[in-house]
Structure 1
Amino acid sequence: MKHYRNLSIGVLLAVMLAACATPYDTQKSFWTFGKGFETMQIAPDSWQISFVGNTNTDRALTRKYVMLKAAELCQKAGYPYFSFNNEQTNRDSVAQYGAATTTGDILWGSSTIDKETSTVVEVTGLKSKPSSPASRIYNTDYILQHLSTES
């Protein structure tokens, strides 16, 4: 009986966690079901940052997370400015789950589609702000002071 109670508590916790957007501090791994951040330095002043969120993580939130992560990386490396060289955001259906029953010749049921939102950017840190930039330039300190990880 105690085993069933512990199992029920575990299932309840898993359901509650699945109902929330993927948190900012999540690193992509097997244990996070492939959700979260993955960063890779591709040059001394450049990084590729990807974030994958669950069904409850929308496009705006994934972009905000990536913007914050870019500002953190650039500040840590001593770059007061940065730019996005490439950016791609997708919202894809990744699975469908359902349950059904039959009554005579009629099939009754419901299903849900699991989606994930992903953003991938290439970020370049800049020591100074160019006078006529080819792309938008972001101020690292401004981003860190004005964006939060709240959804």
Structure 2
Amino acid sequence: MKKLLAILMAVLLAACATPYGKYGLLGGYTDSRIDENTFSISVDNNGMTSKQVTSMQALYRAAELTVEHGFDYFVVGSTANNARSISMVTPGNSTSNTTINSYGSTALATTTTRYTPSTIVPIELPNSTLVIKAFKGVKPEGIGTAYDAKSVLKYLGPQVLGEKGK
């Protein structure tokens, strides 16, 4: 019974996409300041959150950090997507039914056994890691990895935060 309860809890937790926020039970972001204007952001999510959403959450967090520290735009210096794969195993089981027929002093027993093998379910845990440099002033044109922080917050907010972002 305890095994069944543990499996049920794991399935229920895994059935929820990772909400945007600091790292917690279901995943989330962590960040650190490397120097005056350089930040590292890492977002780890559960298997119910897509790679695309994970990448958007990392960009959104980069924009938040940029604005929080008084900068206007940021340039993505490096990116990494270090997804991890895990496997969840549902245990197999067997059920046996025995029928006994007796005829006078003779008994005949028939047993039927049904076996369900264990199932392995692969789960991919997406990750997106960014290192950014934040700057003051107007975002330079022609740099494909430069983002205006307030624009990122405006346009990605509804996608990352859902109803809270509107």
User: Which bracket does the TM-score occupy, shorter chain normalised?
Assistant: 0.7 to 0.9
C-alpha distance in structure 2 between counterparts of 1:46 and 1:53, whole Å = 23
Q: Which amino acid aligns with 2:149?
A: T
* 2:130 equivalent to 1:125: no
The aligned amino acid for 2:82 is N
Aligned-pair CA distance for 1:127: 1.1
Q: Does 1:100 align with 2:118?
A: no
Could you say which residue in structure 2 is the equivalent of 1:27? 23
- Of all paired residues, the percent bearing the same amino acid is 25
TM-score (norm 2): 0.70
Gaps of 5+ in 2: 96-112
Letter in 2 for 1:124: K
C-alpha contact (below 8 Å) 2:73/2:148 kept by paired residues: yes
Partner SS for 2:23: coil
SS in 1 for 2:59: helix
The aligned residue for residue 89 of structure 1 is 81
Q: Distance in 1 between matches of 2:76 and 2:153?
A: 16
- Residues 59, 90 of structure 1: 8 Å contact kept: no
Residue of 95, 109, 113 corresponding to 2:122: 113
Tell which structure's C-alpha radius of gyration is larger: 2
Gaps of 5+ in 1: 1-7
Count of aligned positions: 138
The one-character-per-residue Cα deviations of 1:65-122 (angstroms, maximum 9, x if unpaired) are 0111110100011111101100011332123322113587x76232212320001110
Distance (Å, rounded) in 2 between the aligned partners of 1:26 and 1:95: 25
Checking the alignment, whether the CA contact within 8 Å between 1:80 and 1:127 is kept in structure 2 is yes
